[in-house]
Structure 1
């Protein structure tokens, strides 16, 4: 399944459905139904409709359509009817010309000095005759909404592909940092163990009693062991790797994965914080900071996934 972004935009227009005998006139009028859908990220599905009164009757069907195909996001649907009659310049029909000629003859019979109709007058009257203001009944709003919604879903899918690629790059970066951190801890433990033993040997150098020296050495080893336990991040690295594996699995699976990804990002942040708090070397501190930067970048991307 595809991974969908919650962010997207799509729009479309449709001409009025012509009735019997009025196809050319309705098309020439230039009337259009315009519809657009905007979507941004949100924790839940939040629908807003901005419709003129003549289209308000379609709101329940539009709401059901969006709810069926969208699961999360703040979605706004706008629609408006543009009559556009002024731009129409359809060719007058023979029937209209006959009516205008008859009307002109009748007028001139009573008013001989009346001016004759000009071409501009005829075109203007033809436009007025052929184009009454379009109404909601002239358009198939649900059909247009389906086309625009399909375009929105395509746009969200394309954006989702880009988000997946970005997240996969960040995952690779986190794995590389984890691999850098893994060998640092054993090296630190061995260095600290050697340092403890050297200090205790120096302190016990003047002690004649062998038993006291052995006891001091045992205590030094115990201190070194306690230090190793305090700075050991093997468990954190293991959990971090498991979370990365699960994120990769979800990205490959697709579908409605945004909320689960958001939870896993929180867990990654927790492990990175723990790794930083246990840091006993500047190099490990740097790795922890770099991990937090990558995780924060992932959080920003995940918040856009449905």
Structure 2
């Protein structure tokens, strides 16, 4: 089954939660010569960035991709537990303070449990909140749906690109056919002109070698012939259509072909010796520039 054509531009976002945490994903990409993955993931989520980077690398070929994950915490849903070590340290310090006060005849007001619990470090978030593994596992489970939405958008834009690229190739092919027709008509005119020139040369330079003169004129005719360039242009058009039909990450190959399009058309214009053929060549160059601009969006 042929792969679909993908655009390099895409966007997807999603939200999720697992008490006491909530999060927001954002995944976007723009055009790039290669694949650039920029992940903005909280570093305390151990192992998550490497896992997500591997998942993106499996399905993406080109594009500058940015993945952002923002984590929030609902303090009202955060479980608190007693830190016994910290509590014992506070009680030991309090006992030492009270003993010192008694020796000096100082009376201290009784301590209340609420005062002790309010001290820093005595109460802290539960062990489940300190261990990021459950949250990391949940985020890994949540990520595929975000990635699916992102890839779907790239596929949809790729389908639109297929229509645009195909229409531009059709236009280039029509102009190529017109160029071939003009070149054929010009070939007959060039043949007549060369024949007349040969007769004129032989009339005024009777000592000239007819074979040598004929060879020189034939060489001029060959240099002015654009048949090969038009044929190669047709081959490039077919190759481009085949790549688009095959789908997948073909943007680099299409970009190379658009450069070959330009090379052939530039040669046609330089050899044309015809206003009409040059005009068609310039029209082709304009469409080829539009084609190359669109190809920059293909993965």
Using structure 1 for the length normalisation, give the TM-score: 0.70
Aligned residues: 245
| Distance of 1:70 and 1:193 partners within structure 2 | 55
SS in 2 for 1:294: helix
1:50 and 2:37 are equivalent in the alignment: no
Q: CA RMSD in A?
A: 3.1
- Cα offset for 1:57? 3.9
> Cα gap change, 1:199/1:269 in structure 2, threshold over 3 Å: closer, same or farther?
closer
1:68 and 2:61 are equivalent in the alignment: no
| Distance of 1:305 and 1:198 partners within structure 2 | 52
In structure 2, the residue matched to 1:228 is: 221
Note if contact 1:45-1:70 (Cα within 8 Å) is conserved in structure 2.
Answer: yes
- Cα offset for 1:134? 11
- Cα offset for 1:226? 3.7
> Cα gap change, 1:166/1:84 in structure 2, threshold over 3 Å: closer, same or farther?
farther
2:251 to 234, 258, 266: 258
1:171-214 C-alpha deviation (Å, 9 max, x unpaired): 10111001101121232232234345556767888x8xxx949x
SS in 2 for 1:176: helix
- Cα offset for 1:298? 1.3
In structure 1, the residue matched to 2:177 is: 179
Note if contact 1:243-1:267 (Cα within 8 Å) is conserved in structure 2.
Answer: yes
In structure 1, the residue matched to 2:11 is: 9
Note if contact 1:239-1:271 (Cα within 8 Å) is conserved in structure 2.
Answer: yes
SS in 2 for 1:55: coil
Note if contact 1:189-1:224 (Cα within 8 Å) is conserved in structure 2.
Answer: no
SS in 2 for 1:81: strand
| Distance of 2:44 and 2:201 partners within structure 1 | 94
Ranges of 4+ aligned residues in structure 1 off by more than 3 Å: 53-57, 82-86, 132-139, 192-205, 215-227
SS in 1 for 2:5: coil
1:38 and 2:65 are equivalent in the alignment: no
- Cα offset for 1:297? 1.2
1:298 and 2:291 are equivalent in the alignment: yes
Note if contact 1:275-1:288 (Cα within 8 Å) is conserved in structure 2.
Answer: yes
> Cα gap change, 1:186/1:218 in structure 2, threshold over 3 Å: closer, same or farther?
farther
| Distance of 1:291 and 1:83 partners within structure 2 | 59
| Distance of 1:56 and 1:294 partners within structure 2 | 51
Superposition pairs for residues 1-306 of structure 1, below 5 Å?
1-16=3-18, 26=19, 32-55=22-45, 57-83=47-73, 137-138=134-135, 140-198=138-196, 212=206, 225-306=218-299
SS in 2 for 1:249: helix
Note if contact 2:5-2:244 (Cα within 8 Å) is conserved in structure 1.
Answer: yes
Note if contact 1:258-1:303 (Cα within 8 Å) is conserved in structure 2.
Answer: yes
